């Protein structure tokens, strides 16, 4: 991000002057603040994620798939007065999955109506007729997904990733070797970007004056 910022700043400075370049700086500050906020949010979610046993992880995965298929808002586009609640419910389901909150998923699965009421959201109708209709739609959706998965499986078997999987099964250390090579490549790219950022910083200082402060 900083390399892109300094490159844009330099081009704008040469083309339009310091006032326009200052706008580039303001935009960078906003983008950096948002990036930092997103990172902090992701770090907090990772820190709060509960460690699950293999059985719990399997249950969490199955519950999440079931709930998302049942209550995904796209399936209820013909009910605009209730779509917002389905969106909120799906968001809660995804957040519980991300946080490893299996208890929350169990709560939603066992009593979706009660969960919605406790959140203060618009009530949904979960009577038998609606449930049968939902299951019919789910069946149709699953039929489409089965075909899609079969197509994806065929593509996967023909891909280089599948070949890599087969090789890694025969040689477990292969993935570690590939990862090590990728890490080396990333380190080299980081070093190159840091050098480019430093070069741009020097060039900008020369154009704007040694006393000007650049964003780090």
The H or E element that residue 205 is part of is helix 174-208
Domain check: are 154 and 164 in the same one? no
% of the chain at pLDDT higher than 90: 21
Q: What is the tens place of the pLDDT at every residue in 53-105?
A: 889 999 999 999 999 988 888 877 777 888 889 899 999 999 999 889 999 99
Domain check: are 154 and 165 in the same one? no
Length of the chain counted residue by residue: 216
* Domain, as residue range, for 193: 160-206
Q: What is the tens place of the pLDDT at every residue in 35-50?
A: 777 666 656 665 566 6
- Residue at 212 is within a domain: no
The dihedrals phi and psi of 120, each to the nearest 5 degrees, come to: 80, 20
Alpha-carbon span 108 to 91, nearest angstrom? 12
The total number of structural domains in the chain stands at 4
pLDDT of 144 higher than 90: no
- Residue at 213 is within a domain: no
Question: In terms of C-beta density within 10 A (0-12 exposed, 13-18 middle, 19 or more buried), how is residue 115 classed?
Answer: middle
Domain check: are 111 and 58 in the same one? yes
% of the chain at pLDDT higher than 70: 85
Q: What is the tens place of the pLDDT at every residue in 153-178?
A: 888 777 777 776 777 777 777 778 87
Domain check: are 15 and 44 in the same one? yes
- Residue at 16 is within a domain: yes
Domain check: are 153 and 191 in the same one? no
Tokens 């066992």 belong to residue: 110
pLDDT of 205 higher than 90: no
- Residue at 216 is within a domain: no
């Amino acid at each position: 991000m900083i390399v892109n910022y300094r490159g844009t700043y330099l081009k704008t400075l040469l083309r339009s002057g310091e006032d326009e370049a200052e706008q580039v700086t303001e935009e960078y500050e906003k983008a950096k603040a948002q990036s930092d906020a997103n990172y902090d949010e992701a770090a907090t979610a990772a820190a709060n994620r509960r460690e699950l046993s293999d059985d719990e992880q399997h249950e969490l995965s199955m519950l999440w798939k079931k709930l998302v298929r049942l209550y995904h808002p796209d399936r209820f586009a013909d009910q605009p007065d209730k779509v917002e609640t389905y969106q909120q419910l799906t968001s809660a389901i995804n957040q519980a999955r991300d946080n490893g909150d299996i208890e929350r998923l169990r709560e939603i699965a066992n009593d979706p109506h009660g969960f919605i009421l406790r959140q203060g959201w618009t009530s949904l109708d979960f009577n038998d007729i609606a449930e049968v209709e939902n299951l019919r739609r789910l069946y149709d959706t699953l039929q489409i997904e089965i075909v899609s998965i079969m197509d994806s499986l065929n593509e996967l078997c023909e891909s280089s990733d599948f070949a890599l999987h087969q090789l890694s099964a025969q040689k477990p250390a292969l993935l570690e070797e590939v990862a090590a090579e990728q890490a080396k490549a990333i380190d080299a790219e980081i070093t190159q970007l840091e050098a480019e950022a430093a070069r741009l910083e020097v060039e900008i200082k020369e154009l704007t004056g040694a006393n000007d402060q650049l964003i780090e």
